[in-house]
Amino acid sequence: MAQKTIRILGIESSCDETAAAIVEDGRRIVSDYISTQIDIHKQYGGVFPEVASRQHVLAVYPVIEEAMNRAHMSFSDIDAIAVTRGPGLAGSLVVGMNAAKGLAFSTGLPLIGINHLEGHIYSSWVYSDQDETVPDEPEFPAIVLLVSGGHSEIILLKDHLKYERLGGTLDDAAGEAFDKTARLLGLEYPGGPSIQKAAANGDPYSYRFNIAKMPGTYDFSFSGVKTSVLRTVEKLKKDGSRLNVPDLAASFQKCVVNTLFEKTLRAAREYEAKNIVIAGGVSANKCLRDTFMGQNEFRVFIPKLSYCTDNGAMIGAAGYRRFMAGQRDGMDMDVYPNWPLSRVSL
């Protein structure tokens, strides 16, 4: 007898996107909808937490409703509600969490709290009906490079939901470094896409920025490279030279991408990984994608562009794995704004 299809409603509100999606069996996206606040936060040059929470309050139910309508489904078609519990902005997380609790209470459906980073990892499992074929899924063990606005980690993924953190940033996250560097180059928020755009017309070998190598570890440090760009900009200004933003952006981008690439590859070799999985907002970066795709030692999985940054499908996909593993959370579940992946348990 064919196995019953499991459908999870995934809800995400950890930062500046309110998102909901319905995912079947941890892979097929039946519907998804994202309401982004980027245009609102642009004027502040970054995410303004209080404004973000209020926007989530306005968006959360309409976004969930839109995802349900697009799927032509009612709650009787859904098996569980998965929601981002952390890490993220406390006030933003609370909005998604309370909406999920309200729905779970009124429908009687199970509630499952998801770690946002775990969600990002599962973006490599999802596909939609727009894809021509059902894509392969990553094989274990895999090395995950998780690079977002708040995190930069190298993780050994031994099996579904089984991780070992090998290293990570000691200061700024990779996305944060893009955002801060963009700001000092006068580029708009979010910095990653702005730097990528500016870098398209620049020479990546025009400047050499210092980046900490942290030899013998899988750790990163990105605050120094940002300072190195700052010093260069200050010197150029002092000398009365014109700021060549495309060259500066391209050199910065190349420097960060090379470091991420070298460490990830080294980890994949050491742990004899079958695949490399890249996740998080920075995985949208073209230079990073091209660099990883330009080697053929390891098969690399990178989500489609629309699933690199925050979305509900990744929460639905991770929610499926946790649903199958038996996780059920109670109404007393609270948000966990600093939840490291190492503290996630089954």
Per CB under 6 A, the list member of 91, 149, 168, 246 interacting with ligand KG4 is 149
86 or 138: CB nearest ligand KG4: 86
92 or 251: CB nearest Zn ion: 92
191 binds ligand KG4 (CB under 6 A): yes
Residue 37's binding partner among ligand KG4, Zn ion, none (Cβ under 5 to 8 angstroms by kind) is none
> CA 49, CA 314: separation in Å to the nearest integer?
23
Per CB under 6 A, the list member of 150, 168, 246, 303 interacting with ligand KG4 is 150
251 binds Zn ion (CB under 5 A): no
Residue 10's binding partner among ligand KG4, Zn ion, none (Cβ under 5 to 8 angstroms by kind) is none
Question: Which residue, 318, 332, 37, is CA-closest to 163?
Answer: 318
Residue 193's binding partner among ligand KG4, Zn ion, none (Cβ under 5 to 8 angstroms by kind) is ligand KG4
Biggest CA–CA distance in the chain, Å, is: 75
Site for Zn ion in 109-148 (CB under 5 A): 148
Question: Which residue, 130, 173, 137, 172, is CA-closest to 152?
Answer: 173
178 or 220: CB nearest ligand KG4: 178
In the chain, DSSP finds a helix count (H) and a strand count (E) of: 10, 11
Site for Zn ion in 175-234 (CB under 5 A): none
Q: Are strands 142-147 and 275-279 parallel, antiparallel or unpaired?
A: parallel
Q: Which string of x and - marks every residue 267-306 that binds ligand KG4 (by CB under 6 A)?
A: -------------xxx-xx---------------------
Among 94-102, 173-181, 314-322, 331-339, the segment contacting ligand KG4 (CB under 6 A): 173-181
Site for ligand KG4 in 125-144 (CB under 6 A): none
Q: In the block, which residue shows the tokens 């570890």?
A: 217
Query: CB-based contacts of 206: which residues, under 8 Å, 6+ apart?
Result: 244, 247, 248, 250, 251
Question: Which residue, 35, 27, 29, 130, is CA-closest to 70?
Answer: 29
Minimum Å gap between C-beta 116 and Zn ion is: 6
> CA 297, CA 268: separation in Å to the nearest integer?
10
What's the token pair of residue 266?
Answer: 């080294």
176 or 310: CB nearest Zn ion: 310
Site for ligand KG4 in 9-38 (CB under 6 A): 15
Name the residue type at position 234: E
Sign of CA dihedral 104, 108, 109, 112: positive
- Give the binding site for Zn ion (CB under 5 A): 148, 310
